[in-house]
Amino acid sequence: MRAELLKNPVFAMAATQFDQVADFLELNDEIRERCKWPKRLITVTVPVRHDDGSTRVYFGHRVQHHLTRGPVKGGLRFHPEVDLGEVAALAMWMNWKCALMDLPFGGGKGGLNCDPRLLSVGEKERITRRFTMEMIPFIGESIDVMAPDMGTDEQTMAWMLDTYSTHAGHLVPGIVTGKPVNLQGSAGRTRATGHGVAFLAGRALSKLDIPVRSASAVVQGFGNVGTFAAETLAAGGTRISGISDVTGAFWNDKGIPVDKAIEHVRRTGGLQGFPEADPIDPDELLVQECDVLIPAATGGVIHGGNAARLKCRVLAEAANGPTTPEADEVLRQRDEIFVIPDVLCNAGGVIVSYFEWVQNLQRFRWTEREVITRLETQLEGAFNRVLHFAGRHQLSHRTAAQAIAVHTVGDVKAQRGLFP
């Protein structure tokens, strides 16, 4: 299984990062092995009747990296290229994210190899419900709590909640987070990840003495995270000079009206044909001059081929795993670029998921103001911890963030001991 997982380039990347951190922490072999490998790798087949009467079998995965510090927490993605190794890597990163933020969770991730853009609403609902049924032996409010990720949203979570609750015979609100607000979702959850990215970008800019109001930003990826990051930055006075999604990339030196871009996507389904900016090559977008570059789409977009050409001052990693180890090597030499690593940068989502879960367990509701204030306090604390640790040990921000997290998890494993 080890060799099989390592064959996947994304898992190999997460494992390489872990090995570097474990070397720095001088973890003993026992703790190193127990921290590195996932506790449970679950794969199920999900047979689904399509609208045309045909039946297709999808493969669904859920990787529970560990349950040492509490239930497993992490998103479920629908994407045609999902595979077990990639899901395991994403679960490992969720693990470090939860530990860095001091949330009482282990990391998990799920994925189904379907293309949500090609499915009708009914097909998506049947896939979601059948996958949830197949997962029932392995999930629960105290075992594994899923949330939206790429290709899934609050409607997906509502179907999951309904399927699980129907099976249980009563409403179980804490079975998923990122639910619709009137179905016991949390105020502020939808915008939480993007808001957190913008908030931390602002903190990084202030460390570099760049006023947020005179800064410019490029946002690659215009889904839930990218739109809210762009909107929040623009509201603070930052000029959004470039944006992109799978349908096209656009540039406007004077600043893109983000509200109009959001409206265009709502009306047409993508950025293609957006009239308020000029088309630009998507690869070139990443290497344009800007203060903040926000990769907010898939992994691996900052690589050995473009890392040396980046012209940003802050790299805010809104996506999971956007920077390859080769690119990291280049960025290590370029200390003029301030990297906010993914496990810190995009943690706003899981932080507010934690708030949602706590509200569900207590049958209590917080206001959006309370949620956002607590979110910013938590992010600010982690940001300062990472900077302090990196400065003290002369580490990159990524290694520092992961080292704090791995140290936390390793300590708890040692304290609990090895059963039997």
Active site residues: 109
Q: Does 378 bind ligand GLU (CB under 6 A)?
A: no
Looking at 212-342, which runs of residues are DSSP E strands? Answer: 216-220, 239-245, 248-251, 278-280, 292-295, 314-316, 338-340
CA distance 33 to 400: 20
Q: How many residues bind ligand GLU (CB under 6 A)?
A: 12
Task: CB nearer to ligand GLU: give 149 or 317.
Answer: 149
Q: What does the alpha-carbon distance between residue 315 and residue 339 come to, in Å, rounded to a whole number? A: 5
User: Minimal distance in Å, beta carbon 216 to ligand GLU?
Assistant: 26
Task: Identify which of residues 177 and 238 has a Cβ nearer to ligand GLU in the complex.
Answer: 177
Q: How far is the CB of 179 from ligand GLU (least distance, A)?
A: 11
Give CA–CA dist 68/199, Å, rounded: 30
Residues 6+ apart with CB under 8 A from 166: none
Is residue 128 a contact partner of residue 162, using CB atoms and an 8 Å limit?
Answer: no
Q: Which of 74, 85, 116, 174 binds ligand GLU (CB under 6 A)?
A: 74
- Closer CB to ligand GLU, residue 48 or residue 146? 146
The CA distance from 389 to 394, in Å, is 8
d(CA 258, CA 11): 35
Q: Does 190 bind ligand GLU (CB under 6 A)?
A: no
Q: Which is nearer to ligand GLU, 156 or 346 (CB)?
A: 346
Which range, of 27-35, 72-80, 115-123, 237-245, touches ligand GLU by CB under 6 A?
72-80
Which DSSP state fits 186? P
Q: Which of 398, 412, 387, 381 is nearest to 21 (CA)?
A: 398
In terms of C-beta density within 10 A (0-12 exposed, 13-18 middle, 19 or more buried), how is residue 93 classed? buried
The answer to whether residues 250 and 280 touch, using CB atoms and an 8 Å cutoff, is yes
Long-range CB pairs of 357-361 (<8 Å, 24+ gap) are 357/73, 357/141, 357/145, 357/174, 357/177, 359/184, 359/186, 360/141, 360/173, 360/174, 360/177, 360/184, 361/141, 361/174
By the rule CB under 6 A, 75 interacts with ligand GLU: yes
CB of 63 to ligand GLU, least distance (A): 13
Nearer Cβ to ligand GLU (35/350): 350
- Cβ-closest position to ligand GLU: 75
Does 353 help bind ligand GLU (rule: CB under 6 A)?
Answer: yes
Kind of pairing between the strands at 106-112 and 248-251:
unpaired
CB of 10 to ligand GLU, least distance (A): 14
The alpha carbon of residue 86 and the mean position of all alpha carbons in its chain are separated, in whole angstroms, by 13
Site for ligand GLU contains 174 (CB under 6 A): no
Tell how far CA 105 is from the center of its chain: 15
Beta-sheet pairing, 216-220 with 292-295: parallel
Asked if 62 interacts with ligand GLU (CB under 6 A), we say no
Our finding on whether 349 is near ligand GLU (CB under 6 A) is yes
The single residue among 125, 144, 149, 154 that binds ligand GLU, judged by CB under 6 A, is: 149
* Only segment of 13-21, 38-46, 113-121, 347-355 that touches ligand GLU (CB under 6 A): 347-355
Q: Which of 219, 350, 390, 400 binds ligand GLU (CB under 6 A)?
A: 350
One residue of 177, 220, 359, 402 binding ligand GLU per CB under 6 A = 177
Binds ligand GLU by CB under 6 A, chosen from 91, 114, 147, 215: 147
Q: Give the nearest distance from C-beta 89 to ligand GLU in angstroms.
A: 12
Shortest distance, position 74 Cβ to ligand GLU, whole Å:
5
Q: Which residues, 281 to 340, sit near ligand GLU by CB under 6 A? A: 320
Interacting residues with ligand GLU (CB under 6 A):
73-75, 147, 149, 177-178, 320, 346, 349-350, 353
